[in-house]
Amino acid sequence: MAIEHADVLRAAHLARLGLDEGDATHYLDDLGRILEMVDQLQSLDTEGVTPMAHPLDATQRLRADEVTETDQRDHFQQCAPAVENGLYLVPRVVE
């Protein structure tokens, strides 16, 4: 399945990666060859094979419903780029 310039821009937008036209052209070439390699999968008949998401057939273990965490806000916000009054700051979001 060929990939087009618009697909790269669309993926970049979905992934919130800033790409200019030049970058997009560069990635289009790489991505095209990667997908060409990936397309070998299409030649394999997988009819009736259950998709496998995890390598072990394990099932989810459940956690007891207990509060185990304490307030570490100041500690966690030490690595934050912008905080005020305990809030993480972002450019104004219009809703």
Partner 1 sequence: MHDKTLTELATGLSAGEFSSRELTQELLGRIDRLDGRLNSFISVTAKPALSAADRADATRADGQAGPLNGLPLALKDIFCTRGVRTSCGSRMLDNFVAPYDATIVEKLSEAGTVSLGKTNMDEFAMGSSNENSFYGPVKNPWDPSAVPGGSSGGSAAAVAAGLVPAAMGTDTGGSIRQPAAFCGITGLKPTYGRVSRYGMIAYASSLDQAGPMARSAADCALLLGAMAGHDGRDSTSVARGVPDYQSELDAPLNGLKIGLPVEYFGDGLDPAVEAAVREAVQVYESLGATVREVSLPHTHYAIPAYYVIAPAEASSNLSRFDGVRFGHRCEAPTDLIDLYKRSRAEGFGDEVKRRILIGTHTLSEGFFDAYYKKAQQVRRLIRQDFLDAFEEVDVLMGPASPTPAFDLGANKDPVSMYLQDIYTIAVNLAGIPGISVPAGFAGNRPVGLQILGTHFAEAQLLGVAHQFQQNTDWHLRRPAFAEESA
Partner 2 sequence: MQWETVIGLEVHVQLATRSKIFSGASTAFGAEPNSQACAVDLGLPGVLPVLNESAVAMAVQFGLGVNAEIPEVSVFDRKNYFYADLPKGYQTSQMYQPIVEAGEVEISLEDGSTRHIRVHHAHLEEDAGKSLHEDLHGMTGIDLNRAGTPLLEIVSEPDMRSAKEAAAYLKAIHSIVTYLGISDGNMAEGSMRCDVNVSVRPRGQEAFGTRAEIKNVNSFRFVERAIEFEVERQIELIEDGGEVVQETRLYDPEADETRSMRTKEEANDYRYFPCPDLLPVVLDQAYVDHLRANLPELPADKRARFQHELGLSAYDAGVLSASRAMAEYFERVRNTCGDAKQAANWVQGELSGALNREGLTIDDSPVSAEQLGLLITRVLDDTINGKAAKDVFQAMWQGEGGNADNSADTLIEAKGLKQVTDSGAIEAMIDQVIAESPAQVAQYRDAEPEKRGKMIGYFVGQVMKASRGTANPQQVNGLLKEKLDALC
2 binds partner 1 (CB under 8 A): no
- C-beta neighbour count of 39 within 10 angstroms: 11
Taking the complex as a whole, the smallest distance from the CB of residue 11 to partner 2 amounts, in Å, to 10
| Distance (Å, whole) CA 64 – CA 23 | 48
Could you give the C-alpha distances from 46 to 2, 16, 34, 50, 53, in angstroms and in order?
22, 33, 21, 9, 15
- Of residues 23-52, which lie at the interface with partner 2 (CB under 8 A)? none
What is the x/- site pattern for partner 2, positions 70-89, by CB under 8 A? -xxx--xx----x-xxxxxx
Tell whether the torsion through CA atoms of 75, 76, 79 and 81 is positive or negative: negative
**Contacted by 46, from partner 1, partner 2, none: CB < 5 to 8 Å by type:** partner 1
Structure tokens at 23: 């970058």
Name the CA radius of gyration of the chain, rounded: 22
Q: Which residues ranging from 49 to 78 are in contact with partner 1 (CB under 8 A)?
A: 49-56, 58, 60-61, 63, 72, 75-76, 78
Q: Which does 55 bind (CB under 5 to 8 A by kind): partner 1, partner 2, none?
A: partner 1
Residue 63 binding partner 2, by CB under 8 A: yes
